[in-house]
Structure 1
């Protein structure tokens, strides 16, 4: 058993909120920190939604939900949020400068024995190890969206991570019901995002370049029996995270198409306050997205063939 019972989650966005809720559900005492009061309020509302999901899909009862809520607190005061933490899980935006600033500010506030883990989607823990002030107590612990169903956690070290830290963090993952995925070498994107980011980027390219509609892109994937396609997946990940990842790696790799995809997401979603599931609208409307409605994969009536043909360019 790990000693990691007091947990602080830095960042109350989509995945930070899920990590906090699920850890509390599994018996941990959790503080959610965010710099923005309105973000905290969004997280509280999301936790009410998770309560309903856990009742219907996870097998929780009313007593479980009440106990989970009792173990959760929320704060916009970083010092107060981390003062008793055994483990801090960082889930702030996927922007290197933002993460570094948070670690630097936090370094002087942490108890000596506190471990720190990054939930970064694509960045390496070595990029932030020195900023934490405790590199031997720092590693990556990356969760997947829909944490209650996609219950795996990727664990990755940097060259200075101690074996003790990896042991305790892996024990923590098991204690909250995660399948640990050991990342055997440092890898931007870990395991899941190494294939997921190119997959989502390719889907977005089809939309950005006008090759296909979001619905038709997703239809071609839903035939595999998946619950949602790549554009629906972007809604779940959250458009801000999608933009941050595509924008950063478009610049880093000199990939003009990836940068164009980031611009498309910004202009069509972020600039209009549309974050995906989090705000009830992205590529689809929630809680009733088109891809979950009857008929989304139905063969059309032959009478619409002229309409379909009119969409096929001969250029």
Structure 2
């Protein structure tokens, strides 16, 4: 058993909220911290949704849900939020300057034994180790969206991470029902996002460039038996995270197409308040997205052929 019983999650967005709820459900005492009171309210509403999901999909009963709620607290005072923390999990936006500022503020507030883990999906722990003020007690612990079903956690060290920190963080992951994925070398994107970001970027490129509709992109993937396609996946990840990741790597790699994809996400979703599943709308409207409706993959009636043909750009010179 690890000693990491009191957990503070910094950031109440999609994944931060899921980490907090799941950790509390698994018996940890959890404080959710955010600078934005409205974000806390959205997180609490999401936790109500997760309660229903855990009853229907995880097998929880009402007593389990009540116990999880009892273990959760929420706040906007950082010092109070981390006062008793054994482990702080950082899940703030994927913007290096934001993460660094949080770590620098955090550094003077923690007890000597408190561990810190970043849930970054993109950056290396070495990028922030010195800012934490306790590099030996810092590593990456990256969770996946839909944590109750995609129950794995990627664990990555930087050169200064102590073996004891890795042991305790890995034990914590097991205690909350995660399959630990040891990342054997430092890698931007870890394991899952090394393949996921190019996958989502390719899907977004098809939409940005007008090659296919979001629904048709997702249809081509749903034939694999998946529950949702890449654009539905972006809704679940959250449009803010998608934008932050795409825009960062567009700048880093001087990638004009990725930059265009980030701008598309900003214009069509962020600027319109459609942040994905958490706000009830992104590429799809929730809780009844089109890809879950009967008939989404049905072969059309032959009478639909003229309309379909009208969407196909003629080949020049044919």
State the TM-score, normalized to the length of structure 1: 1.00
Structure 1 partner of 2:164: 164
Whether 1:57 aligns to 2:47 is: no
Structure 2 partner of 1:205: 205
Structure 2 partner of 1:261: 261
Offset of 1:21 from its aligned partner?
0.2
Aligned residues: 315
Structure 2 partner of 1:119: 119
Offset of 1:121 from its aligned partner?
0.7
Structure 2 partner of 1:129: 129
* Aligned partner of residue 63 in structure 1, secondary structure: helix
Offset of 1:129 from its aligned partner?
0.2
Structure 2 partner of 1:238: 238
Structure 2 partner of 1:9: 9
After superposition, where does 1:136-151 map in structure 2 within 5 Å?
136-151=136-151
1:173-217 C-alpha deviation (Å, 9 max, x unpaired): 000000000000000000000000000000000000000000000
* Aligned partner of residue 15 in structure 2, secondary structure: helix
State the TM-score, normalized to the length of structure 2: 0.99
For structure 1, the residue ranges without an aligned partner over 5 or more in a row are none
1:131-189 C-alpha deviation (Å, 9 max, x unpaired): 00000000000000000000000000000000000000000000000000000000000
Structure 2 partner of 1:279: 279
- Taking the aligned partners of 2:149 and 2:214, their CA distance within structure 1 comes to 25
Which 4+ residue blocks in structure 1 deviate beyond 6 angstroms? none
After superposition, where does 1:223-234 map in structure 2 within 5 Å?
223-234=223-234
* Aligned partner of residue 158 in structure 2, secondary structure: coil
Structure 1 partner of 2:69: 69
* Aligned partner of residue 275 in structure 1, secondary structure: coil
For structure 2, the residue ranges without an aligned partner over 5 or more in a row are none
Structure 1 partner of 2:97: 97
Whether 1:38 aligns to 2:38 is: yes
- Taking the aligned partners of 2:259 and 2:126, their CA distance within structure 1 comes to 25
Offset of 1:291 from its aligned partner?
0.2
* Aligned partner of residue 180 in structure 1, secondary structure: strand
- Taking the aligned partners of 2:304 and 2:53, their CA distance within structure 1 comes to 39
Offset of 1:276 from its aligned partner?
0.7
- Taking the aligned partners of 1:45 and 1:267, their CA distance within structure 2 comes to 26
- Taking the aligned partners of 2:61 and 2:293, their CA distance within structure 1 comes to 28
